[in-house]
Amino acid sequence: MSRTAWCVPAGAADKLSLGVTVMPTDLPDIRPSDALGRRVRSTRRAERLAIKNKSVPDIFCEKRGVPSLSVDRLDHAPDQDMTVIADQEPDSLGRSFLGWAVVRAEQAQQDGRTVLPDATLVNRYHASIDLNIRPDVDHWAAQKGHSNALASYAIWRERA
């Protein structure tokens, strides 16, 4: 069994006392039943999502032309650890992390999408949902279609 060396992000050392495991051995391949969480940040629509337990399609939509979606592999660490990681990666607008819109890998892999492990130095539980949009298709319309489909499967999981 191989071990991977990982860097501890700045400011993470104090989190270790909370029992956060820093980068153990490699994760297994993504299974169809794996929970994949799209991070939800504080916006008026996201707060309504949390109250009504319904997903909003925009949560599964990236900027125009971005070919994949970032998600967390939620079945491989406690929610407390995943929340610490999400809090360490603030978004560019300074919005607070609220929780995840969660789909199963088998749902994420429908309609030509693929799910790939995509660990980063900060988040070994990161994965990407590649949309695999053909070049001859209107990219924005295809992105919106994928976004609507994924949102229809999503359930809300609050931060720990």
Domain boundaries, the chain: 33-158
CA distance 111 to 149: 9
pLDDT computed for residue 49 by the predictor: 62
pLDDT computed for residue 78 by the predictor: 94
pLDDT digits (tens, 9 = 90+) for 73-82: 999 999 999 9
Long-range Cβ pairs for the range 24-31 (8 Å, 24+) = 25/1, 26/1, 26/2, 27/73, 27/76, 27/117, 27/119, 27/124, 27/125, 29/117, 30/73, 30/105, 30/115, 30/116, 30/117, 30/127, 31/105
Q: What band does 48 get if pLDDT is binned at 50, 70 and 90?
A: low
CB 32 within 8 A of CB 104: yes
- Please state, in angstroms and as integers, the Cα–Cα distance from residue 148 to each residue in 23, 39, 64, 140, 143, following that order: 33, 16, 15, 12, 9
